[in-house]
Structure 1
Amino acid sequence: MPVLIAVVALVGTLCTLNLVLTLGVVKRLREHTELLGAVQGDPVHLEAGQEVGEFDTATVLGEPLVSDLLSGPVLFGFFSPTCEPCKDKLPRFVEYARQEPGGRSSVVATVVGDAGAASGFVAELSRVAHVVVEESGGAMGTALGIRAFPSVLRADRDADGRLVVVDDDVALSRPTGRTSQSSPTSLTK
């Protein structure tokens, strides 16, 4: 009988400990849900229909990149070398960009962070895009309202000639959806 009482007491103690730990986990999940809800209230980049801000910068090759010079559809990608999801999404972005009808001239990739740490990203992206390296809060990130990485958007000129975001959630798993009839974008004069 004393053995049975000890086993029941041990099981009761373990159940109580499990209950306390479970309540702690539930409390943390609620805190995280509140934090995520606060973040989700603010968009992490411009949304479809919003105008792209002005920018005047240069690519890693020294080519001027000015918002007023963009004349057609442009695929924008934003990555950071310190972002794990960016490392996963980068190969898909490169493959998707390779299929763009306008080729490299219609793709702009921005790597946000230290130039030395960005070198691997720059090497991979340079084959398919005009690449800009900038610190957080740089011209490209500000113009497109980027607050999270990775971000992939498509912009084009509207009827009034303004550069606006036409797709704020480019699905890299789908074909580009553009025909070879599309006029390629000229990023530089």
Structure 2
Amino acid sequence: MPVLIATVVLVGLLCTLDLILTVGVVKRLREHTELLSERSRGGIALGPGDEVGEFSVSSVDGEPVRDSMIESETVVAFFSPSCGPCKEKLPKFIEYARGVPRGREQVIAVVTVDGPADAEAAAPSLSALAPVARVVTGRDADAVADACKVRGFPVVLKVNRSTDGRLLVMTDEVDVERPALTSY
């Protein structure tokens, strides 16, 4: 009889431990689901319908680039030289940008750099982007990234003015695999 009681107590303790661990796993899964759903809703930048903040910067060519200058549908892309997916997406984006109807006027490429090593690594990207986009880098890139609330890379947004004059994100899922002319 004492062996039976000890066995029942042991099984009860194991079940209690299992229940505690299961509750912990379920709690953790809910946290991960929230994080994943936030990311899929464009959590690394502004999403469709969100208003772009104000910015006033200069391109690497010295051209002014301001939010107030954007009057028609414009593509704004964000890259980082230390980002693996950026290196894969950059050539596709350059091809896409070549097909944008009004060219550089409707394309802004933002290349963020963190220190001298990043700046050196960004040089080829900057020269490749210059013919097809108004390129912004350095502190100016940070200002544009802040205006679009970019927290990850790569990001390609399409922005435009609303009827009330606000600059809004049209889409945060620009397909750079397809020619720009068919997506406008």
Q: Normalised by the size of structure 1, how large is the TM-score?
A: 0.72
Residue equivalent to 2:9? none
1:38 to 28, 35, 55: 35
Correspondence list, 1:55-70, <5 A:
55-70=55-70
Q: 1:127 to 1:32 in 2, by over 3 A?
A: farther
Residue equivalent to 1:115? 119
Q: Give the aligned length.
A: 150
Q: 1:172 to 1:50 in 2, by over 3 A?
A: same
How far 1:50 moved relative to its partner?
A: 0.6
How far 1:136 moved relative to its partner?
A: 9.7
Q: Structure 1 runs of 4+ off > 4 angstroms?
A: 31-37
Distance, in Å, in 2 between the alignment partners of 1:32 and 1:150 is 27
How far 1:70 moved relative to its partner?
A: 1.4
Residue equivalent to 1:147? 151
1:124 to 118, 124, 128: 128
Deviation digits for residues 30-77 of structure 1, max 9, x if unmatched? x89965853652510000011110001110011111111111111011
Residue equivalent to 2:169? 165
Q: 1:32 to 1:84 in 2, by over 3 A?
A: farther
Query: What is the Cα-based RMSD across aligned positions, in Å?
Result: 2.4
Indicate the percent of aligned positions where both proteins have the same amino acid: 40
Kept in 1, the 8 Å contact 2:110–2:141? The answer is: no
Deviation digits for residues 127-186 of structure 1, max 9, x if unmatched? 10000012598111001111110000100011001110001110111232356xxxxxxx
Residue equivalent to 1:71? 71
Q: 1:129 to 1:32 in 2, by over 3 A?
A: farther
Distance, in Å, in 1 between the alignment partners of 2:148 and 2:44 is 10
Residue equivalent to 1:86? 86
Worse-superposed segment, 38-47 or 66-75: 38-47
Distance, in Å, in 1 between the alignment partners of 2:31 and 2:142 is 30
Worse-superposed segment, 83-92 or 108-117: 108-117
Kept in 1, the 8 Å contact 2:74–2:158? The answer is: yes
Gaps of 5+ in 1: 1-30, 180-189
Q: 1:67 to 1:136 in 2, by over 3 A?
A: closer
Distance, in Å, in 2 between the alignment partners of 1:137 and 1:131 is 9
Distance, in Å, in 2 between the alignment partners of 1:74 and 1:35 is 34
Gaps of 5+ in 2: 1-27
Higher helix share: 2
Distance, in Å, in 2 between the alignment partners of 1:60 and 1:33 is 44
